[in-house]
Structures are given as C-alpha cells and as structure tokens.
Structure 1
Amino acid sequence: MARHWGHRVSMSTTARILDDAGLLLKADYQRERRQLAQQRKAAFAKTPTGPNMVWQFDFSEYETAAGGTWRVAGIADYWSKYEFGWHWSPTANQHDAIAAVQLALTEAAHLLPEGLDLLEYLTDPDTGEVVPITLVTDNGGPFRSARFAAFIEATAELDHVRTRVRTPGQNGVRERAFQSLKYERLYREQIDDMHDLLAHGEDFRAEFNTVRPHEALSRNRPREVHLRLADPSSPNFPEPENLPRT
C-alpha cells in the first residue's frame, strides 16, 4: 500500500490515477517509437527529385490588432518550396487539418498538365504502383487523431509520417515559410481583423511563389520549379509576367 494525500491507496489505484492523468507510458510505447522511426527513415532515405514527393504540414497562429487569434494550416512542397493554399480558422483541430490537406490536393491537381489527375501522376507507368506523397507533420493532436488517420488511410495519394518529438528542424521548410510570413509581412503591417489577415496572407503567398527568388532554389521562384520551368540546381530567372498561367 502507498499513501496519496494522506490516504492509503493500492498500487493498482496509483497506476489508474497516473494513467488517467496521461503520465504512464503504454505497453507498446517503445514499439510505436520504433515504427515511427522506421517510417521517418524510409521517407527521407532518398532525396526528393521532383515536386509532389514530400510535403511538409503544420499550423501557426497570429493575433490581430482587434484581439482575435487565428490559426493557419499550410502545406509546402519540400522540393520546390511551393506554398499550397492556406486554410485559416479560429481553431487548429483535426477538421482544420483535413481541410488544409484537401486544399493542397486540389491545388496540386490543378497545377498538373491538363487531363492528368494527381493519382495518375503518382502512378509508376512501368509497375502501375501508386507512389504516394509523403506528408510530414509534427506530433500535434490534430495529426494524431483517429479521424485524421482515417482520412489519410482513405486517400491513396498520401502517406503520413510524423517527426521526432521536439525536432522542428525535421519540418524546416514549413517552419521557415511561416516565419517569413510573420516577420516579412504580418509583423510589419497593421492587421486589424480576419479580412486583413486573409488579404495579407494571400498576397504574401502569391509573392513567395511567383515573385521573390528563393535562395535555396538557386534564385528561382517556387512556382517555376514546381512546374519544372526551372532547374533548382542552376540559375534561371524568368520574369513573373512570362510564367505560364494554369
């Protein structure tokens, strides 16, 4: 017997109290960690050589001058640094996570050549096997939810991998782009409400994708690289007005 706040309690009661508070490791904790480590290793064992091979996904938040706090869910392509459409919401839950992924899937399909859908694009022409996009997230609640897992399971275009705990660098492309949004745009402007936030956020995304050269892409722009109009390993600097429209 042990004592808890002066009361004698059994070891089983103590274990139940700790479990209810989420302070006990589950029996399969180490096995789950090994499985996640294997998935991470497999995801990055081969460096992506094109768009829609690895996506990085996370949430960020911003407080407007009027006091409202809004969350943005965004997905970035690891290879091209292209920013897919952002999902803004007062919440950051499993429903918002799913909505952001659906937004990215729709835009990724829209950027493909006419007549080609995303699933067809991801299918190996020789084997007929679908090579899904690796969607990388951290270990936040929305990404560990059963609903999000079921959504990924039902989406043949995606395979979900979570980063190690407290290692934001493994999701670095996503983290850096959100920092750029805040320090280069939002923190420099007067953002009064949600309408201002949406406008500034979308202006920045368009500028990031099509106007501003990206150092990691040898001064190319993300949209050029994503559409394979430029080689990210060599300088190629077309003017924005000369980019094809899709």
Structure 2
Amino acid sequence: MIRQDAAMPVSRFTALIGIPRRTYTRWISKQRAGNPPKGPWPAPAVEAFEPVVEKYAQAWPAWGHRKIHALMRADGHEVSVSTVERAMRRRNLLQSTKYQAERRELAKARKAAFAEPPTGPNQVWQLDFSEFETTRGGIWRIAGCADYYSKYEFGWHLATTCNAADAELAVRIAIAEAERLAGGVPLAEQLTNPETGHIKRIKVVTDNGGAFKGSRFAAFIASRPELLHIRTRRRSPGQNGVRERAFGSLKYEHLYRMEIDDGQTLAAEAERYRHVFNHIRPHEALGMQRPIEIHQQDQQAQLSSKKTEPDS
C-alpha cells in the first residue's frame, strides 16, 4: 500500500489525496472484510407481516401483490402495498411479469349498446362462449353472462355444443340469478319504472357467432320484454372485453392450474371459481371491491328508490 510504503500517518495521507479520514477508514474496513455487498437493511414492517403475507399468497397463488394487499386490508390487516410486495418478493411468491400480460382496456362497443354508459347493474350484460379441453372428456364450451357494471358472473352453462339453445340457457341462468340476488323480485319488475310502467331493457351484448344470429335466439329475446340483443361489429374482436377478461381469469387463475378430467369436474371447478370471483377476489376495476358488493349495493339502492317513488 502506498501509505504504508511511505510510512505516512492516516491523517496526513487523507489530507494529501483529499478525502475525509472516516471515508478512508470505511474503505479499508470493507476491503479487509472482503467487500461484502450492502444490506440487507432492517425491515421491521416486512418481517412482521411476512408470514401472514405468505399465508395469503399461498392460498391464492394466481394473484399479484395488489390483490393480496386488498384481501389483507379487507380482513383488517393494516399493511401497505409496498410491504406486501417486498414480503412476497422475499418468499419468491411474485408472479412473473410474463405470467399474464396486462390486457388493453375494454374496446369501444357498438354505440347502440353504450350510447348511455351503464350507471348500475342489470343495464348491460355481456354473453359469450369459451372453449376448454379436458384431459379425458373432450372439448367443452362454457357459456355465461357477466354484468358490465358490477363484473358479477351470473353462472355457467356447460355443453359440448355451441348453439342457440346453449346461448338461451346461459341467459336463463343469468335471469334466475339476477332475480335471486334481488330477493326473488322478477327481473321485469326490477326494470320497470313505477310511474310510467316503462321497462328499461337490459342490453345483452354478444359477438356475431352463429349461436347469436339464428332465429331461435332472436325469438327467445323477443319473448323477454326485459331484454334487448346487441351484436358487436363484425371482425372486431375485443368489444366484449368484460366477458373476455373474466373468461381469461377463470382459465389462467384456476382451470389451467390443475388437471380437469371431464365435464363434471370442469363444471364443479368453474362454479368454485365463480364464487371466488364474485365474493372473494378483489377487482381492480371496482376499486378493489368484490363484484357482489358493487352489484348488491347498487341494486338495493335502485329497488329502494322505486319503493319510495310512489309515496313522494
């Protein structure tokens, strides 16, 4: 070393090269210790919540740190998003950025369907089919309606076919579920203005698939005064965005993570995820609330206003 070869004291040497003595001694200490890397720095908040975060992340392995954070906050844990992210990173529980790329926002649908943006549930439903191949039971089609406003999944119809009869059954399932959520009030009654008697019809948005273009499905819609069928533009994928993203969540967060042998198992697992999606999974587009919370609070407000209108 130059200083030792010159028999120069530390104070004189540091003054000569123009650095503080404490900096020089710190460098020497690091060199003698083998130049260890910096950190890890103390992280009491992360260490305190790390076991809890791990428990939540292992229970919901398909979810990212923001959804885990929202779930923990809903359960009463006072923890920040960054703490959850750091804890999951420590335990190697963060999903890869390539796991499921962020998809674009819902593309503009036909003006007839969204001329007036929905302000509550049961104003716009989106209906479509999605294929899933089981390991031993062949290919099945999942049909279902999702509420555009609340993102609520009304239920699935599973079949090996994809025709107008299947589309009709999917809509009937949605109607039954919408009436159950309203305490058994018929859907047409929920949509009727008590003063004018006018029914504000639900716009059922679909693509231009063969199941939706035939006379049978058209006749079914015509028989329901509370429904209006809207087909999106031809060759314009992405206009049924809420429906398509929910199918993607069903597959990537649940179905693709297990072996599905047959249609019966597929139906059970799809229904299990529907409960998670509606009642447990925080939804970013809803401000980290659940679809059931948005659907019921807005629906109850609408029903209450209808009850009070005649007396006012």
1:148 aligned onto 2:217: yes
Residue 111 of structure 1 is matched in structure 2 by: 181
TM-score by length of 1: 0.75
What amino acid does structure 2 have at the position aligned with 1:60? S
The Cα shift of 1:41 comes to: 1.6
Give the letter aligned to residue 221 of structure 1.
R
Q: Deviations over 1:140-195 (max 9, x none)?
A: 00100001001101111100000011223210000000011111111110111112
Task: Deviation per CA, 1:31-63: give whole Å up to 9, x if none.
Answer: xxxxxxxx9323211110100000000000100
Give how far 1:126 is off: 2.5
Q: CA deviation at 1:132?
A: 0.6
Please give the alpha-carbon distance, in whole angstroms, between the structure 2 residues aligned to 1:154 and 1:68. Answer: 34
Residue equivalent to 2:158? 88
Q: More deviation in 161-170 or 147-156? A: 161-170
Taking only aligned residues, the RMSD between alpha carbons, in angstroms, comes to: 1.5
Does 2:195 correspond to 1:126? yes
Q: Name the CA distance, whole Å, in 1 between partners of 2:149 and 2:255.
A: 26
Displacement of 1:127 after TM fit? 1.6
Counterpart-to-counterpart distance in 1, 2:250 and 2:282: 15
> Distance in 2 between the 1:107 and 1:206 partners?
13
Counterpart in 2 of 1:59? Answer: 129
Do structure 1's residue 172 and structure 2's residue 241 form an aligned pair?
yes
Task: Look up the equivalent residue of 1:126 and give its one-letter code.
Answer: E
Instruction: Tell me how far 1:229 sits from its aligned partner.
Output: 6.8
Say whether 1:205 aligns with 2:274.
Answer: yes
1:1-246 aligned within 5 A? 40-113=110-183, 116-228=185-297
Which residue type is aligned with residue 211 of structure 2? P
Q: Distance in 2 between matches of 1:46 and 1:124?
A: 17
Number of residue equivalences? 191
**Per-residue deviation, residues 95-124 of structure 1 (Å, max 9, x unmatched):** 10111111111111111145x321111011
CA separation in 2, counterparts of 1:100 and 1:195?
17
Give ranges in structure 1 of 5+ residues lacking alignment: 1-38, 231-246
CA distance in 2, matches of 1:204, 1:195: 14
Which aligned segments of 4 or more residues in structure 1 are displaced greater than 4 angstroms?
A: none
What 5-or-longer segments of structure 2 have no aligned partner?
A: 1-108, 300-312
| CA deviation vs aligned residue, 1:189-234 (integer Å, no higher than 9, x gap) | 011111211111011100000001100000000011110179xxxx
Are residues 139 and 229 of structure 1, via their aligned partners in 2, closer, same or farther at CA, if it must alter by over 3 Å? closer
Residue aligned with 2:259, SS? coil
Paired with 1:229 and 1:214, the residues of 2 have a C-alpha distance of: 16
Contact 2:156 2:170 in 1 (8 A): yes
More helix per residue: 2
Residue 110 of structure 2 aligns to a residue in which SS? helix
How far has the Cα of 1:77 moved from its partner? 0.1
- Give identity over the alignment, percent: 59
Q: Distance in 2 between matches of 1:186 and 1:42?
A: 34
Alpha-carbon separation, structure 1, partners of 2:112 and 2:232:
12
Q: Is the 8 A contact 2:120 2:298 kept in 1?
A: no
Q: Which residue of 2 aligns with 1:10?
A: none
When normalised by structure 2's length, the TM-score is 0.59
Partners of 1:40 and 1:126 in 2: how far apart?
Answer: 30
Structure 2 SS opposite 1:168: coil
Quote the Cα distance in structure 2 between the aligned partners of 1:43 and 1:145: 20
Mapped to 1, the partners of 2:124 and 2:253 lie a distance apart of 26
